[in-house]
Chain A
Amino acid sequence: MTLNTNLDGTTLTIEIIGRLDTTTAPVLEEEITKSISGIKTLVLDFGQLEYISSAGLRVLLKSQKTMMKQGKMIIVNASETIREVFELTGFMDILTLG
């Protein structure tokens, strides 16, 4: 997994390339924890995300909870397969997809 981050004022965009699984999810979690202070909008770009397991979902839920207190979190470019995982787990109602 590779992360590309871009900070524009109080908007932080993180592009996630590859797989978000048990071994890589902690890397994203650490990146978000490290960079989230003062951020009003967190954009997660899933355009090149190939795979997400429950370890990845846990990071999304945790980030969503944090961002609800200080702004918002938006997921963009999620593929059909990733959306199906969100549907199945009820995450479609929790997350904001742009």
Chain B
Amino acid sequence: MEKMRFNAETINLNEVLAFIDSKLEANDCPMKTQMQIDVAAEEIFVNVAHYSYHPEIGIVEVCVEFEENPRRVFVTFIDSGRPFNPLEKPDPDVTLSAEEREIGGLGIYMVKKTMDDVIYEFSDGQNHLTMVKNL
């Protein structure tokens, strides 16, 4: 398992994605899948950066792990901020017109839709959010 720790601040987004991308590329992840994982990872990281420690700045640990049979990748975000399960957020109604659509709520929806599984767990005083994507 590959791990890296970052300050949970949005200015570190590119570094977080670069870390994840480097592991995906090394494991021949298709371009489209990589973009879906990036979009999902951005949402989770930004969520932690905005809410978990606010107004303080804390640490988020990002882990990338590959598994064979079936071939899949697990990307986990671990933070020690306040307990928060972003998956409980209600899904936006994606059938509404532009006038009716509200700005926001899309991020977590995209994570749920593009990943094969998303698991939240609060344990040992930490938020663990794992995204699973089949490769």
A interface, CB within 8 angstroms of B? 21-23, 51-55, 57-58, 61-62, 64-65, 68, 81, 84-85, 88-90, 93-94
Contact = CB atoms under 8 A, between A and B. Distances in A.
B103 A22 contact: no
Interface of B: 10-11, 13-14, 31-32, 35, 38-39, 42-43, 46, 94-99, 101, 103-104, 106-107, 109-110, 113-114
Given A21-B13, A85-B39, A58 B104 contact: yes
B64 to A, nearest CB: 19
B13 A22 contact: yes
Interface of B is mostly: helix
Could you tell me the dominant secondary structure of chain A's interface residues? Answer: helix
A88 B110 contact: yes
A23 B112 CA distance: 22
12 contacts: A23-B13, A51-B38, A53-B42, A53-B43, A57-B106, A58-B104, A61-B101, A65-B99, A84-B32, A89-B106, A90-B96, A90-B101
Given A65-B98, A93-B97, 5 more contacts: A51-B39, A52-B39, A54-B43, A55-B107, A68-B98
A90 B110 CA distance: 11
A58 B106 contact: yes
